[in-house]
Amino acid sequence: MDSQPQASSEAGSPAPNLHATAPVGSTPPRVWTVFVAYVALLTTVAVIGTLIFGVAMIVEASRKGIKNPEDFTPLIEQLKVTPWLHAAGVMTSSTTGLVMALLLAKLSPRPWRERLRLLPGASLHPVAWVAAVVACCALGQALESASILTGVWTWSATLKGLEATSKASPGTFALLMLFGTLVAGTAEELFFRGYVQSRLVERWGRTAGIACTATLFGIIHMDPIQSPLALAIGLYLGWLAEHTGSVRLPVLVHILNNAVSFLLSRFATPSSELPTSVHVALLIVCPLLVAGALVLLRRAVAAPVVAAATAVEG
C-alpha cells in the first residue's frame, strides 16, 4: 500500500535526518493510502462502538422492561456514562488501532519498524524525556481547565464517561489503565504519528503534515469537546515525533499522560469540582510549564545533532 521505499541509512552513519522529506526530483510518495487506512480505521471503530452501544441498550431495555420510545432517551443518557461500556469501547478501539497500524506497516515495502518510525531518533538526556511528559500533562490540564471555566466541559459525554469509569470497580479501572494507557497510547502513536504523519510530512512538509495528522487524530475521538483537545495534544505529539525523528518518545509521553489523567480522576478531586480559582491558577502555571519544556526540548535535540555534524566534519 506504500510507494517504493527510500534507501535506509546504513549502520554507523553519522546522524539521523530528523526532518527528512522526499528528495528533490524524486517521485512524490502517495498519500491516498494513508487516507484510505484512516477511513477504514474510523469506520471500524464507529461500527464496533455502535454495535456495542446497541447491544447494551437492548439488554438494558429488556432488563428494565422499557418499551415506550420516549423512555429510551434517559436510558441512552445513562449508558453514555456507564463504566463497563466505556471500558469496552476503549478496549476495542485501542486494539483495533494497534492491529491496523502493525498490519499496514507489514504491508509496506519498507521494514515495519522504519515505516512506523520506531527506530531510535535523537539521543536525549533523561531530563528531556521528563520535560516532554510534563509538557503534555500541563497542556492537557490547561485545555481541561479552559473547557471547565468556559462551561463547555459538560458537553462532552466521553470525558464524563471516562471520569465515571475511572471511579468504577477495581477490575473495570484495571482494564481502563491497561487498554486506555499502554494499548491506546502505543496504537495511536504508531498509527497517527508513525504511519500517517510520516507519509504526509514526506509529501507536504512538516507543518502541513503535523497539522493534518493532528486534525485526523481529533476527528477520530468523535466528541465535540474531546476532539479539539485531542487535536491540540496531537499537534504537540506530532512536533515531538518530527523533532526527535522517532515515535518512541511520543509513545511514552502518550501512555504516561493518559495514566496520570486516569489516576487523578480516580484518586483526586474531579477537575469539574475544583474551585474557579484553582483553574485560573492552572491556566497561568501550565502554559509556562509547556513553554519551558519546549525550550528545553529544542535545545536537547539540537545539541546532539550539532555534535554529530561537527564530528563528521572533523
Dihedrals phi, psi of 223, to nearest 5 degrees: -145, 135
Query: Which residues in the chain land under pLDDT 50?
Result: 3-17, 305-314
**19-70 confidence digits (pLDDT tens):** 555 555 567 888 999 999 999 999 999 999 999 999 989 988 888 888 888 8
pLDDT of residue 22: 56
Q: How far apart are CA 211 and CA 196, in angstroms?
A: 12
Long-range contacts of 42-51 (CB under 8 A, 24+ apart): 42/219, 42/220, 44/96, 44/100, 45/92, 45/93, 45/96, 45/97, 45/220, 46/222, 48/92, 48/93, 48/96, 49/89, 49/92, 49/93
pLDDT of residue 69: 80
pLDDT of residue 303: 59
Contact 253, 156 (CB under 8 A): no
Burial status of residue 221 (CB atoms within 10 A of its CB: 0-12, 13-18, 19 or more): buried
First to last CA, the chain: 42
Sequence-ordered list of residues with C-beta below 8 angstroms from that of 259, at least 6 positions apart, any chain: 177, 181
Cα 283 to chain centroid distance, Å, stands at 22
Tell me the one-letter amino acid at 227: S
pLDDT of residue 77: 85
Place of cell 517504493: 4
pLDDT of residue 10: 38
pLDDT of residue 67: 81
Other Cβ atoms closer than 10 A to 291: 12
